[in-house]
Amino acid sequence: IIVGVLLWVGLGFAFFSSPNMNTIMSSVKRNQYGLASGSAATMRVIGQITSMTIATLFFAATFNKQSIEVVPPQVFLKTMKWAFISFSFLSIFGIYFSFNRGRISREVPKQ
């Protein structure tokens, strides 16, 4: 099961992250590769922080001031389910913009 999940995550990165980085790097000049790569990495980390913040807000709203040890497992799972559903809908926007980004042509360096 673990290997299957890791394969699934790897496929997700292969089909999303690599084409998006290719698009980003193709849209800038050669002397701006460092800036583009750094900006993409920064946006990736900001996205991770934002998603963790939103997930934490889901749990905080559901658990109130209770400790996680006293929250019934079904409440925890229900909260997790709603967080996953919400993030799935947010992902639809990313998928839409990835597929509709248009043709990117790379500048061929002069010899």
Residue 106 inside a domain? The answer is no
How many domains, in total, are found in the chain? 1
Q: What is the pTM of this model?
A: 0.69
- Which residue range(s) make up the domain with 38? 2-99
Residue 104 inside a domain? The answer is no
Q: What is the pLDDT of residue 26?
A: 86
Q: What is the pLDDT of residue 108?
A: 62
**∠ CA 109-34-53, rounded to 5°:** 140
> Mean pLDDT across the stretch 68-76?
90
Residue 56 inside a domain? The answer is yes
Residue 111 inside a domain? The answer is no
Task: Tell me how far apart the alpha carbons of residues 23 and 9 are, in angstroms, rounded to a whole number.
Answer: 21
Residue 109 inside a domain? The answer is no
Residue 108 inside a domain? The answer is no
pLDDT at 33 over 70: yes
Most confident of 30-44, 60-74, 94-108: 30-44
Residue, of 108 and 45, whose pLDDT is higher:
45
Residue 50 inside a domain? The answer is yes
